[in-house]
Each structure stands twice: as structure tokens, then as C-alpha cells.
Structure 1
Amino acid sequence: MLRLLMIDNYDSFTYNLVQLILSNVRVAMIIRRNDQLTLKEITKLSPDGIVISPGPKGPKDAGLSKPIIETFGEKIPILGVCLGMQCINEVFGGKTREADLPVHGKTSLISHNGRYLFRSLPNPLKVARYHSLIVDDIPGCLELDAVTIDSQIPMAIHHKKYRIFGVQFHPESFLTEGGDQMIRNFLSFLSQ
């Protein structure tokens, strides 16, 4: 059975994300808070994939989230959700900044490239957003996969060489179309 490590950034949405994953595939879920494990313990857990949850703060307050990406990103598939995507962007040299307009529980239409997490999904796609920070200065090693249609805010990225993916929106929200398909698409990378 596949082992999936969920890094909980003290967010109320973490267990909604866990439920979405468990409703789509049989995996052994290991859930740990971002400050309640070590990199050595993660090595011993030997996860097949890692999900970095949303969180109420920014990447500098995300505990081990960034060191996890730095240490395991070359070998283990990683999905970063909201704060998790911001951590991915910063690890590879990008920045995080305040959004011009914070959003909480709002839907946006996004345009995506139909690849990776977005395979078999309609375009445009309605997604749920809960954030006041956005990624900026996306580095060359990351590719932009989706943006909001109305304001071109980055909504999804992936690493060009490693199996690292990030979404700024919440796939676990009932307001997001195709969240279960996105999770299945990510999980397909665990066995590669």
C-alpha cells in the first residue's frame, strides 16, 4: 500500500484534504504537524508521496515545509496546496507577496494547460480560493500551469525536472470542480 505523508500547517482545511485523498485511493495516510517531526523521521517513514497543506500564515512560518521540499523534492512526489505552493516557489528562488485583494471562500475561473494535475479536466475550471498571499517571481525551473482568467494570478505550478506540484486554490473544497481528479492525477505520480 502506498504511504502518503501529510504535513499539517495548522490549518482547518487539512482534514478536508485528507478526506478527499482517502475517498479517491487506498493509501496509508501519515499526518504530522509541521513542527512535530524531523527530516530524519521522514526518512524513516519512507513515504511514497508528500502533501504540504494550506496554512494560516506565510512560508516563513511553515515549520519544516520548506526543508522538506529541499530535502525530498528530488526523490519523492510533492503536492503543495495554497501555503504549500508558496513554499515550493520560495524554495526554488521565487517570492511570496500580499495579494492586491485577499479572497476567502470565493470562486474564480482558471485557465490551465491540461497537463499534470489538470489532465482530463475542463478548461476553464472553477476553483475555490482562500488566501491573502500569492506567489511572485516564479523561477525558471518552475512552470506556470494555471492562472485566474480575470487577473492572471498564478494558480498552479510544477517543477520542470522533479515531481513537485503546487496549487494556490483548494482542491478539497466543494466549490472546486474536479478536485478529486486533481488528487488522482497527483497520486498517479507516486508509482512512477
Structure 2
Amino acid sequence: MTAAYVALEGGHVIEGRGRASGTARGELVFTTAYTGYEESLTDPSYEEQILTFSYPLIGNYGVREERFESDRIHPRAVLAKELTEDVAEWLENEGVPAVDHLDTREVVTDIRDGGAMKCGIAVGEDVTEEDALAELEACKTMSEHTEIGAQVSVDESVVYGEDNDGDTVALVDCGAKGSIVDSLVARDATVHVLPHDANAADVESVDPDVLFISNGPGDPANYENAIGLVEAFVEDTPVAGICLGQQIVAEALGGTTEKMTFGHRGINQPVLDLESGQVVMTTQNHGYTVADPGDHLEITQINVNDDTPEGIDGIEYDVITRQYHPEANPGPEDTFDFFDDVLAMADARQTTAVPADD
């Protein structure tokens, strides 16, 4: 059996079975999702993290590329109770260390009680506990990854839906899931995916009907360019955001954000709409949240479990953001209408901007 060691913050080392060789370090987090492992593993929001699956068997329906959210696996390593051969081979081929035959209930409990923590992984024929501890020693906090946006963003603008006749969206790519683009294109939008460090001139060249800030990994305070774009365009252009995008919008408009203890990651997070009283189930993956929306934004939806903000709208600006993933890959599908609301906001702005005929 290939040796595998997992060193947790504080120095505790767990031994498991190695399924994909290598060494890694990152923030240890868990997801409660019981399906959607392909989507989770290719979600850019897991960059610089080590992902623990709480569901005991991962890989029971194979690996299909059409389900991927990006072109590669993003977690630095993977922990599970049991990985199938398909998933283990996929991780090995992509050079992502993987460990199973772990008591993931204990790992998840440690994270729940102590919070997301630094972690070091060592997998291989000749590795030792000291190799895992060395990775742990070199591990950074998520806030210290100040250039994380560059690791997950496009390098230059890419256009999707060029032949569409609907609204034009400038999507600032801070680690966008592919299904966000797909959801907008399916609604006849033309989507210009811009780098995370795009400037005002880049956005102006698109002449967008909506400025859209994507999901992504890390501390929202490190995305200074995206914050600046919201500040620059919010008075004249509708603004939308998902996940990290909600946090960036709040930072830009006078709100504050904070690190959560262990975050929300899974496909079963209940969200209450404060106006309608309706509760929907949502997909989520984030470790930061809006602490205070400030004076220009109002909270419209909250998490049923801990009352953290899940939806924020503008008070005097055309702004709509969601902390969860309305594109809902891998599910559930309760919140698809968010994209309709975003484009309707843009259409309403265009209608009011056109003078009525005499």
C-alpha cells in the first residue's frame, strides 16, 4: 500500500492509503455534497485548498468531461473515505495527491470544531510523516495568497455567444465556473470574459449592459482591481455578482467582509428570501462572507442555518448579488431565475434610458 500522511494544523498527523502520489499544502476544508464530485474538483474556488469529501464513496458514476467547470482540477489534494479507481486515476493523471481509507467523519468534525486549517499532504512509496509536516510548515493562510486571482483567471478577454442578440455582459473572471457563462449565453447574452485584473478601459471597450463579478477563491480584499471596477461603473451600469462576487461588490460599496469558521460547501444549503418567505436549497462553496453590507446595499436573503447574507440588492444602485451558485451545477435547480433577474435589471435600465416618443 502506498504510504500517505495528512498533517493537520497543530501537528497531528493522520495516516491513510495513498491513491495519487505527490506532496501538497493548502487550507483543509470539507464539502457535504453527495453528488457532483466532478464539478467540485474542477471548481476554481477550491484553488489552494485541500478538499475533504464527507460522503463516503466518491466516484460511483465515473468521470465525464462534459460535467467539468474548468479545464483542470483545482484543489491541491483530495481526502475521502473511499475513492473509486476512475477518480483516483484522474487525480493521478493531473498530479493531484489523493488519500483515502481515512475516517472522514473525524476530519470533518475537526474542521467543524476548529475551523478550516492549514494542512500538509505527502503520498508516495518513500514518504514519511516529516514530509507532510514540512508541507504544513510551508502552508500559507488564504489571505496570504494575494495573487490567487491570477492562478484561476483568463489571461486575455474571451467572448462567448457572439451571435446572440441579447444583452452584453462584461464578466470579470476571478475564477468563474463555466456554467455561469453557459447560463448567460443560454439567455441570449453575449459574454465578454475579462481577466481578474481588468481595468476600466477594458470594461469600457465592451460597452456592457451588465458588469458581472464572478465567483473565485481567496480573500475578497485581495481583488483590488475588481473592487475598483464596481466603484467606477456602479452609478451607470447594472452590477451583478456570485459568491466571491457578492463579497467584492460589498467591499466596493462600503460594506465589510470576514472569514468564516469553516464556510459553506455543499449542495444542501437552505436560503430564506426575506420578502417572499420562500426557502430554496442551494449549491455553495465559500469561506468568506459579507459581515456588513453598508449603507448602499440591503440584505434580501439569508442562510437558514447561520443567518449569513445570501442575497444583496442595491438601495439606490442597480445591484443584485448572490452568495450561492444560482447556476446550480451539480444542483439543485431552485435558483436558475437569478440570471433572468440580472438581465431584466439591464433591460429595465435600457428602457428608462431611452426617452419616450412625443
Identify the TM-score tier after normalising by the shorter chain.
0.7 to 0.9
TM-score (norm 2): 0.48
Deviating more after overlay: 127-136 vs 100-109: 100-109
Q: Are 1:7 and 2:162 matched, yes or no? A: no
- Give the counterpart letter for 1:7 in structure 2: V
Paired residues in the alignment total 182
Q: Which has the higher contact order (CA 8 A, sep 6+)?
A: 1
Name the counterpart of 2:195.
Answer: 33
The offset of 1:63, in angstroms, is 4.7
Q: Secondary structure at the match of 2:347?
A: coil
| Unaligned segments of structure 2, at least 5 residues | 1-164, 349-358
Q: Secondary structure at the match of 2:193?
A: strand
1:177-192 alignment, distance < 5 Å: 177-192=333-348
- Give the counterpart letter for 1:180 in structure 2: F
Q: Secondary structure at the match of 1:131?
A: strand
The offset of 1:6, in angstroms, is 0.8
Q: Are 1:75 and 2:231 matched, yes or no? A: no
Whole-Å Cα distance in 2 between the matches of residues 184 and 114 of structure 1?
18
| Structure 1 runs (4+) greater than 4 angstroms displaced | none
- Give the counterpart letter for 1:129 in structure 2: Q
Q: Secondary structure at the match of 1:189?
A: helix
| Unaligned segments of structure 1, at least 5 residues | 116-121
Q: Are 1:88 and 2:88 matched, yes or no? A: no
Q: Secondary structure at the match of 1:190?
A: helix
- Give the counterpart letter for 2:183 in structure 1: L
Name the counterpart of 2:271.
Answer: 110
Q: Are 1:46 and 2:246 matched, yes or no? A: no
Aligned residue among 260, 263, 269 for 1:99: 260
Q: Say whether the 8 Å CA contact 1:155–1:169 is kept in structure 2.
A: yes
Q: Are 1:166 and 2:321 matched, yes or no? A: yes
The offset of 1:92, in angstroms, is 1.8
- Give the counterpart letter for 1:144 in structure 2: I
- Give the counterpart letter for 1:178 in structure 2: D
Aligned residue among 175, 180, 185 for 1:17: 180
Whole-Å Cα distance in 1 between the matches of residues 196 and 345 of structure 2?
23
Aligned residue among 141, 154, 177 for 2:309: 154
| Larger radius of gyration between Structure 1 and Structure 2 | 2
Deviations 1:41-96 (A, max 9, x none): 21122101111100111222225211111011111111111111101111122211
Task: Work out the percentage of aligned pairs sharing the same amino acid.
Answer: 21
Whole-Å Cα distance in 2 between the matches of residues 99 and 107 of structure 1?
18
Whole-Å Cα distance in 2 between the matches of residues 54 and 150 of structure 1?
22
Whole-Å Cα distance in 1 between the matches of residues 320 and 332 of structure 2?
17
Whole-Å Cα distance in 2 between the matches of residues 128 and 137 of structure 1?
23
Q: Secondary structure at the match of 1:166?
A: strand
Whole-Å Cα distance in 2 between the matches of residues 108 and 145 of structure 1?
16
- Give the counterpart letter for 2:246 in structure 1: M
Q: Are 1:140 and 2:303 matched, yes or no? A: no
Whole-Å Cα distance in 2 between the matches of residues 107 and 56 of structure 1?
20
The alignment's C-alpha RMSD in Å is 1.7
Q: Secondary structure at the match of 2:169?
A: strand
TM-score (norm 1): 0.88
